[in-house]
Amino acid sequence: MAAFLTRRVLFGILVLWIISVVVFVMFFVTPHDPARLLAGRQASASEIIAIRHNLGLDRPVLTQYFTWMGKLLHGDLGFSYRTSQPVTSLLASRLPVTASLAFGAAIIWLVLGVSAGVLAAIKPRTIADRAVTFFALFFYSMPTFLLGLLFLFFLFFKLYTAGFHLFPGGGYIPLTQDPIGWADHLILPWFTYALVSAAVYSRLTRGTMIDVLGEDYIRTARSKGISEGRVIVRHALRSALTPVVTQFGIDLGTLLGGAIITENVFGLPGLGQLAVQSITDQNLPVIIGIVIVASFFIVVANIGVDLLYGFLDPRVRLT
């Protein structure tokens, strides 16, 4: 286990280093001038030169990279071109919003998707199976922004005009300030993201469960008189969750990097909304910071998935 974990961590560090090189080349080496973007269209040549010197862009490329990498390893992502705030402070202030959205939606889509997939697998070609298939295809075909707008129209606007104030139309309240208000403001974004993702998980769980239920060890367990519920949960579902966990690691890591559409539809001040604003303003340090943070979450999520394989499936050996 220790050797496996060490290899995976080292491989993750290598991936993050490659990403850092690619990001640096894209933003600092390719033919565009960050100093001119920061100075604006009306800036003089002397102002651009001064800004380029202050940013260290007039030094050799390798020197720039090692300086930038050294700051990155110390948690220094630079300063925002627009507000002059440290990028780490901006990301730290937005991360709790995105994390709240990600983990809440993840719990909902796992419960809904896996439960629906198991139900469809143990009752194939029945009304329950067809209903799960119908709703899975329906929500999978539904764009996230459209589902969010429908929720806002029917569950916020229509209810609000009728005098029922059940769901807020947007915004965010910190968990430490008001837990009930926190959940109240996130329930529509949670279900907007979770219903679309649950459709994928229900189909994935159904397919793997049907394959596992046909295995010899499942028939052996049933022949020994083990209850059907225990066969489904302890034997079949445990093995069937391996591809589900793989998908979950990718989805959760990506979502922690910023749910751009959902956050903008519901006005959540998370990393996704910050990414859109930074791209619009051409705020390069913030964009770079978001890319690095998103990459880190995806790498960590995949390492966690690899570790879970050994616990879910006894046939997998972490050596």
As assigned by CATH, the class of the 90-312 domain is mainly alpha
Query: Which of 22-31, 61-70, 182-191 has the largest mean confidence?
Result: 182-191
- Report the alpha-carbon distance of residue 18 to residue 26 in Å, rounded: 12
Q: How do residues 102-127 score in pLDDT, each as one tens digit?
A: 999 999 999 999 999 999 999 888 99
In degrees, rounded to 5, the angle at the alpha carbon of residue 9 between the alpha carbons of residues 300 and 7 is 140
Pull the structure tokens for residue 220. Answer: 């052996």
Choose between 30 and 182: higher pLDDT.
182
Domain boundaries, the chain: 2-73, 90-312
What mean pLDDT value characterizes the chain? 86
Task: State the average pLDDT over residues 45-58.
Answer: 74
Task: State the average pLDDT over residues 13-41.
Answer: 77
Length of the chain: 319
Q: How do residues 294-312 score in pLDDT, each as one tens digit?
A: 999 989 988 888 888 767 6
* Res. 179: pLDDT tops 90: yes
* Candidate from 56-60, 85-89, 145-149, 296-300 with smallest mean pLDDT: 56-60
At 216, which amino acid appears?
D
Percent of the chain with pLDDT over 70: 92
Q: What is the dihedral of CA 189, 195, 201, 204, to 10 degrees?
A: -150
